[in-house]
Amino acid sequence: MPGKPSTSATVRDVLQVIISEDPAEGAIVKLAIEGSTDVDLVFNPLTLAKLQAILTKVDSLQAQIRTTQ
C-alpha cells in the first residue's frame, strides 16, 4: 500500500505451506527469516488466488525468457 511503512527480511527457508482443502479457507506459509522469529503468512482465499495468478504469470514470463536465450 502506498505510503505504508514496510519491513524487509531475508527469507532463509520455506518451512511449511498449508493450503486448505476447503475453498472458503486460505493458506498459511511459514517462513524462516533472519533472527529468532519465524513468520507465518496467512492468506485468505482471494489473496491466495491473486498470489497464485501472479506466480503463474511470472513463471510463464521466465520460461519465455529462458527459451529465447
Per-residue model confidence as pLDDT tens digits over 20-33:
998 889 999 999 99
Confidence of residue 68 (pLDDT cuts 50, 70, 90): low
Q: How many domains does the chain have?
A: 1
Mean pLDDT, to the nearest integer, of 29-52? 94
* Any domain includes 4: no
pLDDT-derived band at 11 (thresholds 50, 70, 90) equals very high
CB 58 within 8 A of CB 66: no
Residue 2 resides in a domain: no
Tell me whether residue 6 is in a domain: no
Q: How many CB atoms lie within 10 A of CB 24?
A: 7
β-bridge mates for residue 14, sequence order: 31
pTM attached to this predicted model? 0.75
In angstroms, rounded to a whole number, what is the distance separating the alpha carbons of residues 3 and 21? 36
Q: 69 pLDDT exceeds 80?
A: no
Domain that holds residue 55: 11-68
Query: What b-and-e string marks burial along 33-52, b requiring 16 or more CB atoms within 10 Å of the CB?
Result: eeeeeeeeeebeeeebeeee
